[in-house]
Structure 1
Amino acid sequence: MKTVLDTTTKTKPLSLIFDDFKQITKAGLAFSVVFSSIAGYLLGADNFSLKILLLLVFGGYFMVGASNAFNQLIEKDLDALMKRTQNRPIPSGRMSVNTAFSIAVVFTILGVITLYIVNPKTAMFGAISIFLYTCVYTPLKTKTPLAVFVGAFPGAIPFMLGWVAATNDFGIEPGTLFMIQFFWQFPHFWAIGWMLDEDYNRAGFKMLPTGKKDKATALQIIMYTIWMILASVFPVTGLTGKLDLSIFAAVIIFVMGIGMLYFAFKLYHKRDNKTARALMLASVSYISLMQIVYVLDKFIS
């Protein structure tokens, strides 16, 4: 009877193994990152290459998966303290540290190699993203609210990475794409930090700029949202090289940005979790729709 129980206990359904794999690599987040990279590639490419696009997709997923696996390894004890993360594969005991580490290392190697086949610059930026996210952003989260500023750098790389993959060049065009997503990071993550402030406090994470859900934090969210809007429509001036934006597209993006800014002002006045969630959802919609408008504008114009 004991042998039967041991075998049953150790047997893990394939669906659960796959689910844990998705959680340790954060497949949902990886999809949004890959989407940004694809948008950047389509903006930069003069001649479409399915091979390069597929390499970018797989390389991007490997890079994001590696970063998230390393992150969950480093924060495994802190994740156990928070309600939203205590059921992750490592703190719940469903995945060993060695297994997670192996996934992180293999994904890092595969990611660098895959992106290097695209071109060396793309691999370099991908490697920088993993380093900043794992070795700088993650340790800083319990030290200072400036962690969000540091984390905004690897978070802003995917959009520009697609352009670099398409052109093997870094100039004002990918720099502009980087700045758009860089400024977007702040209202997005501070909205999340606002909603999960109590949970983050259990683990000692310092995610809000003032450390409080107050007007000063909300004001900074407003300011960065304004900078995001300005960066998003700046290519309409014609000062961003080959990265063009028609007046019509700029108006659409500006209106979408004002919609996000509305929720930022609303948070300033209400300062509640419900409004923070609305801002977070608005930010997710904005970044995706803005990238779609950019791509459509290129091909329609």
Structure 2
Amino acid sequence: MSITQINTTKVSVLEDFKEITKMRLALSVVFSSVAGYLLGVDTINWATLGLLAIGGYFMVGASNAFNQIIERDLDSLMDRTKNRPIPSGRMSVNTAFIIAAVFTLLGIIVLYIINPITAMFGAISIFCYVSLYTPLKTKTPLAVFVGAIPGAIPFMLGWVAATGNFGIEPGTLFMIQFFWQFPHFWAIGWFLFEDYKKGGFFMLPTGERNTGTAIQTIMYTVWTVITSLVPVLGLTGKLYLTPVAGVIVLVLGIFLLRAAFQLYQKKDAISAKKLMITSVIYITLLQLIFVADKFIREWI
């Protein structure tokens, strides 16, 4: 085998590893966890922060690998997923299972080193995603509701890692990201509707790209914005947002609502994709604003 072929094989193996663990998604989850940690901590412990990032990646990677093992036959039916490592034949189920099992074990161990409650929530996240959300996707639109639970844990997990406790603060962070899941994933379910249909997935609340789905998307977008602004009221313990930061979050929320209303008006894939992109921008900037607001207050 030539050097070029060896290098190509190495690149292929690395790409398959990134795909089976959904590296980009995993990194976004790690970002949420880090944001939650920075919000909850009094003094940054860089070792703990590093463990949180590593453990978080392991847990998300494990969930995604298990998911692709379970859905391998359905993935082969959809254009979006047919080239994934398992359905394409580049990776065996056994190899994927080893990755998933090792990642689960390492993830729980690493998070346990931080504190037991962090490991517990990490384990709950994997269980909900793999054992509940994944099989429900082909049974009922309520799968998105179930999937929103593990999807909302990372932001909360960071606070728990920082404090070792669960209370109103991490609960609020959980609710923000919980409600956010609905406009985000329903937007994806809308513009990928035909592809999901090939795999038999029920991702939209009414099962169709219709007015009912668009109205529910607006409703959950409203709840996302409302819960994002609750910390301004000073009712969420140590989690607080200044009025100035609250105004910025409100402006972001208006853009998110505008995208949701555009989907209601146009009911097309382009508007759905715009809503999906806007939702990603919203949650990313929101987390940055929350963290920046906290540290600016401390410096002042």
- Give me the TM-score of the superposition, normalised by structure 2: 0.97
Matched, 1:130 2:101: no
Where 2:78 maps in the other structure, the secondary structure is: coil
Where 2:44 maps in the other structure, the secondary structure is: coil
Whole-angstrom CA distance in 2 between matches of 1:116 and 1:138: 25
Matched, 1:260 2:256: yes
Which of 53, 67, 70 is the aligned partner of 1:71? 67
Matched, 1:249 2:245: yes
Whole-angstrom CA distance in 1 between matches of 2:47 and 2:282: 29
Which of 93, 107, 110 is the aligned partner of 1:111? 107
Matched, 1:83 2:68: no
Whole-angstrom CA distance in 2 between matches of 1:11 and 1:159: 38
Which of 271, 281, 300 is the aligned partner of 2:277? 281
Q: Which amino acid aligns with 2:203?
A: M
How many Å apart are 1:9 and its aligned residue?
Answer: 10
Aligned residues with identical type, % of pairs:
67
Where 1:207 maps in the other structure, the secondary structure is: coil
Q: Which amino acid aligns with 1:106?
A: V
Alignment correspondent of 2:88: 92
Whole-angstrom CA distance in 2 between matches of 1:10 and 1:293: 45
Which of 32, 38, 44 is the aligned partner of 1:36? 32
Alignment correspondent of 1:295: 291
Whole-angstrom CA distance in 2 between matches of 1:90 and 1:175: 37
Matched, 1:52 2:48: yes
Where 1:46 maps in the other structure, the secondary structure is: coil
1:139 and 1:9, CA in 2 relative to 1: closer, same or farther beyond 3 A? farther
Whole-angstrom CA distance in 1 between matches of 2:124 and 2:43: 27
Which of 267, 271, 280 is the aligned partner of 1:271? 267
Which of 191, 206, 211 is the aligned partner of 1:210? 206
* Displaced runs of 4 or more, over 3 A: 8-12
Structure 2 unaligned segments of length 5 or more: list them: none
Cα deviation digits, residues 182-237 of structure 1 (max 9, x gap):
00000000000001000000010000000000010000000000000000010111
Alignment correspondent of 1:26: 22
Alignment correspondent of 1:139: 135
Structure 1 unaligned segments of length 5 or more: list them: none
Q: Which amino acid aligns with 1:25?
A: T
How many Å apart are 1:47 and its aligned residue?
Answer: 1.1
How many Å apart are 1:162 and its aligned residue?
Answer: 0.2
How many Å apart are 1:11 and its aligned residue?
Answer: 9.8
Number of residues of Structure 1 aligned to a counterpart in Structure 2? 295
Whole-angstrom CA distance in 1 between matches of 2:130 and 2:166: 24
Alignment correspondent of 2:176: 180
Alignment correspondent of 2:11: 15
Alignment correspondent of 1:157: 153
Superposition CA RMSD, Å: 1.3
